[in-house]
Amino acid sequence: EIVLTQSPGTLSLSPGERATLSCRASQRISSTYLAWYQQRPGQAPRLLIYDASSRATGIPDRFSGSGSGTDFTLTINRLEPEDLGVYYCQQYSSSPRTFGQGTKVEIK
Amino acid sequence: QVQLVQSGSELTKPGASVKVSCKASGYTFTTHAMNWVRQAPGQGLEWMGWINTNTGNPTYAQGFTGRYVFSLDTSVTTAYLQISSLKAEDTAVYYCARGHGYGDFDYWGQGTPVTVSS
């Protein structure tokens, strides 16, 4: 099973700042099969990025993903108040599909 | 537009069973897998497995075998998750999520809270 470790645990930033979230895999993820999700308080998760760097439908270009192998990054530019929530990475390179433990983004 | 609408919250006792439904609309039901994801209170996301909506063949993640059953009724474009012999540790929100591409999940149901308490 591929274990995903996200850092930091919590990120507290002001509106307009840039957020950089990390996801590290215990094994190489083939073909960049990694996704990022946003979960706002009390809501279901929402797909942001798939295949490591492709934005999902309707996701603003403030969100971008990068990385390959075992190290992946989600960058949120020009942070907005609505961006608060928990962000999860997920791999689908192998079964079982696994999620990271999440990074909580707080808006100051 | 694509929608996954799940059944309402459940409050049930240990040893009982529960069946959660996930009604899909806005797309051809049999062209996308349906996944199930569990989120325990205050915890992260845990993939339970998926069901092939074309063949009805389910695949269960380790830890979700035996008491868990994924099923379909394609005539009403609905997927189901049944959990039997419920335990307190089954208390969680259960999500259905549509498979997208190779294995990510592009649309999610709103979640069904299941509470198991005596």
Residue B101: what pLDDT?
83
Contact assignment for A97 to B109 by CB distance below 8 Å: no
Is the predicted pLDDT of residue B23 greater than 90, yes or no? yes
How far apart are the C-alpha atoms of A24 and B97, rounded to whole Å? Answer: 24
- B98 vs chain A: nearest CA distance in angstroms? 11
Task: Please give the backbone phi and psi of residue B76, each rounded to the nearest 5 degrees, phi first.
Answer: -120, 20
A31: which chain B residues are within 8 Å (Cβ-Cβ)?
102
Closest CA to B101 of A75, A11, A93, A102: A93
Are B94 and B114 in contact by the 8 Å Cβ rule? The answer is yes
* Residues whose CB is less than 8 angstroms from the CB of residue A60 and which lie 6 or more positions away in sequence, other chains included: none
Is the predicted pLDDT of residue B53 greater than 90, yes or no? yes
* pLDDT one-digit tens code per residue, A45-59: 999 999 999 999 999
- A18 vs chain B: nearest CA distance in angstroms? 24
Are B68 and B59 in contact by the 8 Å Cβ rule? The answer is no
Is the predicted pLDDT of residue B102 greater than 90, yes or no? no
**């309707």: which residue's tokens?**
A58
The model's confidence at residue A82, banded by pLDDT at 50, 70 and 90, is very high
Contact assignment for B59 to A95 by CB distance below 8 Å: yes
* pLDDT one-digit tens code per residue, A9-45: 999 999 999 999 999 999 999 888 999 999 999 999 9
Residue B62 CB burial class (10 angstroms; 0-12, 13-18, ≥19)? exposed
Contact assignment for A44 to B110 by CB distance below 8 Å: yes
